[in-house]
Amino acid sequence: MTSLLVLLIVAALPWVTNAQEFPGVTVETVVKDAHFAEGPVWSPDGFLLFSDTVIDRIQKLTPGKGEAEYASLPGGAAGMAYDDQGRLYVCEFRARRVTRTGKNGKTDVIAAQFEGKRLNAPSDIVVRRDGNVYFTDPAFGSQQDARELDFYGVYHVKPGGMPEAIGRWKTRPNGIAVSPNGRLLYVTDSDARLIRVYDLAGNGTASNERVFVDKIEGVPAGLRTDAKGNVFVAAKYVYIYSPKGEMLREIQLSQTPSNLAFGDPDFTSLYVTARSAIYRVRAGGLKGAPPYAPPVP
């Protein structure tokens, strides 16, 4: 891959409603030659990681320094997340497991089986600030042929625990995110073209599954929430919804987005993976909540 490409585009993108919340949008192309970019996550050490799923690599993008290989992962890498100890969680879709790697390089398997059967192909993951882990387990394309489970799962792993099924879906879950207060869990349904939401208890258990937003244009994939609790989803475009499910904005990109993550030291940039490209979106009022930071009082 080549070094960092920075191409600044001042975007005249359409407002939907509540335009005053995100004025002055700019879009910058920071990677242009990935094979299929996915799973972006901002490291507490000050760089962006993303998965290049076709070549089984994790790439590192450092602002002002460019792009470099971070790790080669034969098990495949899709969604990633950090916890408040700086440990990296990876959905290894080829190896059909979820791993956690500490700063000392030690890797632990967090989930690989459920009820004695191998997982399908873990896709995306989020870690709540108290260490509760949530991940999705769909199966796309040839992954369907190797399935042992008769459902597509949404899972919860308590600190030190085993995976528990939150949802046993007939449709495929994909992206996953937690609200900034840690009380809601959002999951995209790529087949039904909607976002589901669960209530999260203090001990991490989920209940009261319901539809948050439906009739999403495109295939909803990655999810993030910002500091105000707005929900960002990668589908045909990047769509932004209020905590009440009201459409606030759509951001059109030249490639179809696959996933997204807030980043930069102030968390006021939105990094969007989109097939061979990664975009950096900036706008007034745009601010993510670092998932590994202490809760806001």
- Domains in the chain, number: 1
Q: Which amino acid appears at position 66 of this protein?
A: G
Q: Give the span between the Cα atoms of 181 and 166, in whole angstroms.
A: 20
Q: Give the span between the Cα atoms of 240 and 270, in whole angstroms.
A: 12
Does position 171 have pLDDT exceeding 80, yes or no? yes
**CATH code (residue 219):** 2.120.10.30
Q: What is the rounded average pLDDT of the residues 178-199?
A: 97
Whole-number pLDDT of residue 29: 93
Assign 144 to helix, strand or coil: helix
Between CA 34 and CA 42, with CA 39 as vertex, the angle to 5 degrees is 100
In a domain, 67, yes or no: yes
- Looking at per-residue pLDDT, the higher value among 23 and 161 belongs to 161
For 251, the token pair is 């951001």
Q: Give the span between the Cα atoms of 182 and 167, in whole angstroms.
A: 18
CA 90, distance to chain mean position in Å, is 11
In a domain, 290, yes or no: no
In a domain, 295, yes or no: no
Assign 19 to helix, strand or coil: helix
Domain containing 138: what range?
7-282
- Looking at per-residue pLDDT, the higher value among 22 and 278 belongs to 278
In a domain, 149, yes or no: yes
In a domain, 292, yes or no: no
In a domain, 297, yes or no: no
Task: Find the range with the poorest average confidence among 2-16, 78-92, 140-154, 246-260.
Answer: 2-16
Whole-number pLDDT of residue 293: 58
Does position 214 have pLDDT exceeding 70, yes or no? yes
Whole-number pLDDT of residue 141: 80
Whole-number pLDDT of residue 18: 47
In a domain, 287, yes or no: no
b vs e for 48-70, b when ≥16 Cβ sit within 10 Å of the residue's Cβ?
bbbbbbebbbbbbbebeebbeeb
What proportion of the chain, given as a percentage, has pLDDT over 70? 91
Q: Give the span between the Cα atoms of 247 and 202, in whole angstroms.
A: 29
Q: How confident is the model at residue 194 (pLDDT cuts 50, 70, 90)?
A: very high
